[in-house]
Chain A
Amino acid sequence: MKKLSVLVLLAVLLTLFGAFGVVSAQNQYEGVVIDVLTFTGPQIAEPLQRHAPAFQEATGATVNVITVPFADLYQTILTDQATGTNSYEAFVFAPQWMGDYVSGGYLLDLSDKVGASEELAWDDVGQFFREFSATYQGATYTLPLDGDFHMVYYRIDVLEELGMTPPTTWDEYLAIAEAANGMDMNGDGEGDFGSCIAKKRAEQGYWWIYSIAAPFIQTQGTSQGAFFDTETMNPLTNNAAFIRALEIYKATNAFGPADELNIGVGDTRGLWTAGRCALTVDWGDIGSLAVSEGSNVNGLTGAVITPGSDMVLDRATGELVACDEMTCPNAINGINHAPYAAFGGWSGGISAAIDPTVQQAAFDYFAYVSAPAQSNVDVTIGATGFNPYRISQFEDLAPWVAGGFTEAAAENYLGAIQASLNSPNMVLDLRVPFNQRYQQVVLDEVLSRFLADELTAEEAAAEIEVRWNEITDELGRDAQLAAYTATLGITGGN
């Protein structure tokens, strides 16, 4: 608790310090009220709230943070905007939903503003977030506040004891999980688990399958895409690569808790900090949770880029082929990695339907929260859900050490993040309009049926293909294809 309060104090001091930087703009937004909508819980709302007084001090604008339950945020924003209720000036949401909001015309185009803002230091934001996460069809609509992608976490001590190295392929992942399963990892005399992966239905479970499948499917860089064929919009699921991924996904069941099919990401994080898992796949949160109070694995948590594969999909035949220079131009040591930017990182967007002055004020507020002076501290606090997304956040270890990391742990953690972020083959999450129907409804359900042995891997792969195609046809294949290729940065011809 003490550490946290020191950090908060530090954050406040830095905030005040930062506030002097914009002192010239004082009271320019006197009387402006910005209602920011996000989800309930300390992860995002707390830093937004914490920075509001300093921003008000500097500019005169009042910021109210309004929250709704996480599971209903997507719909609340959409309903508010679609019906023209316009109760909110700005939103902090997952950029995955951007396709829907932009196609409804609800979000303000920020392309001109981001370059003009000195405070924001736009070039400091990681390239992936600037060019893919924050943009839609070539225009910038959000300011990243958070960097989200999957990594693999491993127990340094357990791997040492086993004489194994961190996994570079999913086969190695399974081998470590098998070897470690049943070992006592937290010293309570009971056997613990080789691998903990959140597989509960209707609770984010559908992201993990793509962390496994991506290195088999995507080889040519982010703009190749991992979800659909960029010519026909046919899903890339009914093929040997996806079926292989399904088999790996299911194989991890054997090394997890008895109720793994019903545990969510909150449970796996609890199991991790309690020291009961040798391996897990998760967002950046684990790194800072592992060093926070009550953790049994402080200093024992290592992170590494998600495992890859030496066999990849030949999209023409649907079969797996060996990696070579042609098939895997981005391979490292013959292994094709494809870190998955699941969810994409919480970002701020601004309502298109409000007064330009208020829009500018909301923009300045997000720029203020995202500015290195504020965010470089926020990302080191475990209680926030903010994970690193700026280049400067990797360069200075001091805030991390102040946040409770040992220098070695910070280097290891940041190294894994950097390796993922630097990968030209990072996988962009599916961001076509109504992506919730593809992932949250169909993919989630089919995966759960597959895990419950209702479907074989082949049946599951075929079912996803059929039902995704059905959604695409309902929504209009050409429009969906255009949106899909545009999010990948393939703009030519569209």
Chain B
Amino acid sequence: MIKRLFTSNDPFRPSVSTLIGTYAVLGFWTLVVLFPLYWLFVTSFKTPADVNNGPLYIPFVDFQPTLETWNDLLIVQQNFVLRPYINTFISAGISAFLALVIGAAASYALSRFEYRPKPAVIFMFILCVGLAALLVSQGLHWSLAVFLLLANTIGRRFKGSMGNNDIAFWLISQRMLPPVATIIPIYIIFQQLSLLNTHAGMILVYVAVHLPLVIWFMRDYFSGIPLELEESAFIDGASRYTVLWRIVLPLSLPGLIATFLIVLIFAWNEYTFALFLTGAETQTMPLLVAAQNATRGPQWWNISVLVTLMVVPLLAMAFVLERYIAKGILVGAVKG
């Protein structure tokens, strides 16, 4: 074992020359990553005058750092910053968790069962007809109704060739349209359902827009898990849910964690939906960051403080969850 650790072609223990090369690359990228962040961080301790008086690099040497901006945002304007901060935790945290639960289930289903989505097509057809009737009754153009009916007739032609991959592609295609195209209709739906300016509304939207991501990621992990393990469990009389909970999910833990982290980050930083669907009580942090560019141009010091505040919880989360991603090695060993 000891000897093996020092042989050069062991993929886990690199030789000295490989090690130097590795550190050169990693060090370079660390610099690329950290320099902009360093600049952001020191800017949060500058006064507007420090920023305007040209680039000042090192605190205490080039300029006297001050907590003025931090004080202003965290103490003086407390309510303007803390509320969005808490809101961001609520809508991003809950929606990421729900998206993971719902999405992982769907994803497992898509990788284990064959679907022939005929009932779905019929369901969509009914839904479309109903919507078309609703739209026409609301005074919209009749050609829309005709289009909808035609669209479904065409849609049904292809039913024979639809399968799991088509469902998956349909799901991911939900992310293809930019939010600006769909936001006004969603606004109107939310207005009708009284979901504007509520956490529930934000969570619903974030779950919906992030589900496709969860499903696509988890599909790959699930299909990598050998079926034999599950089959032997079924022989022992376990139900589908027990197998999913006891065998499949633990085996795909690294994937689940990575996916959760990514979805959390997406929801945490989302801007366009938050802009339209939130009000004073539910506003989130990205709005506050964007708002720092007002009539007087970007307030660099405020942006720096707010972005730092936004990154800290995610960083802490990554710090904790990184262990689980690392544990994936051990889990992987089991499946081999």
**A/B contact in complex, CB under 8 angstroms:** yes
In the complex, chain A residues 9-47 whose Cβ is within 8 Å of any chain B Cβ: 35, 39-41, 43
Interface size on A, residues (CB 8 A): 37
Q: Are B288 and A40 in contact (CB under 8 A)?
A: yes
Q: Which residues of B contact A66 (CB under 8 A)?
A: 279-280
Q: Are A41 and B52 in contact (CB under 8 A)?
A: no
Query: For the complex, is B292 an interface residue (Cβ under 8 Å from A)?
Result: yes
Q: Which residues of A contact B191 (CB under 8 A)?
A: 83, 85
Query: For the complex, is B229 an interface residue (Cβ under 8 Å from A)?
Result: no
Query: For the complex, is B53 an interface residue (Cβ under 8 Å from A)?
Result: yes
Q: Are A295 and B296 in contact (CB under 8 A)?
A: no
Q: Which residues of B contact A35 (CB under 8 A)?
A: 280
In the complex, chain B residues 16-75 whose Cβ is within 8 Å of any chain A Cβ: 47-54
Known: A64-B280, A72-B275. A266 touches B188 (CB 8 A): no
Q: Which residues of B contact A293 (CB under 8 A)?
A: 49
Known: A270-B48, A294-B48. A41 touches B295 (CB 8 A): yes
Q: Which residues of B contact A71 (CB under 8 A)?
A: 290, 293
A265-285: CB near B (< 8 Å → 1, else 0) gives 111011101100000000001
Instruction: Report the bound CA distance from A55 to B291 in whole Å.
Output: 27
Minimum Cβ distance to chain A for residue B248 (Å): 43
Query: For the complex, is A329 an interface residue (Cβ under 8 Å from B)?
Result: no
Instruction: Report the bound CA distance from A399 to B288 in whole Å.
Output: 33
Minimum Cβ distance to chain B for residue A130 (Å): 23
Instruction: Report the bound CA distance from A83 to B186 in whole Å.
Output: 12
Q: Which residue of B lies closest to A283 (CB)?
A: B295
For the side of the interface on B, what is the size category? Answer: 20 to 34
Query: For the complex, is A441 an interface residue (Cβ under 8 Å from B)?
Result: no
B167-198: CB near A (< 8 Å → 1, else 0) gives 00000000000000000100110010000110
Q: Are A265 and B275 in contact (CB under 8 A)?
A: no
B291-314: CB near A (< 8 Å → 1, else 0) gives 111111111000000000000000
Q: Are B290 and A69 in contact (CB under 8 A)?
A: yes
Query: For the complex, is B265 an interface residue (Cβ under 8 Å from A)?
Result: no
Instruction: Report the bound CA distance from A85 to B295 in whole Å.
Output: 27
Q: Are A68 and B296 in contact (CB under 8 A)?
A: no
B187: which of A43, A67, A79 is its contact (CB, 8 Å)?
A: A79
Q: Which residue of B lies closest to A273 (CB)?
A: B52
Q: Are A274 and B291 in contact (CB under 8 A)?
A: no
B296: which of A41, A72, A186 is its contact (CB, 8 Å)?
A: A41
Q: Are A68 and B287 in contact (CB under 8 A)?
A: yes
Can you name 18 A-B residue pairings with CB atoms under 8 Å? A39-B291, A40-B288, A41-B291, A41-B299, A68-B275, A68-B287, A69-B275, A69-B287, A69-B294, A76-B275, A85-B196, A265-B296, A266-B299, A269-B296, A274-B49, A274-B53, A274-B54, A294-B50
Supply 11 further A-B pairs (C-beta < 8 A) apart from A39-B294, A40-B292, A68-B287. A43-B296, A69-B291, A70-B291, A70-B294, A79-B184, A79-B187, A79-B276, A264-B298, A266-B293, A270-B52, A274-B52
Q: State the A residues within 8 Å of B (CB).
A: 35, 39-41, 43, 64, 66-72, 76, 79, 83, 85, 87, 186, 188, 203-204, 264-267, 269-271, 273-274, 285, 293-296, 385
Closest 3 CB pairs of A and B: A266-B297, A294-B49, A40-B291
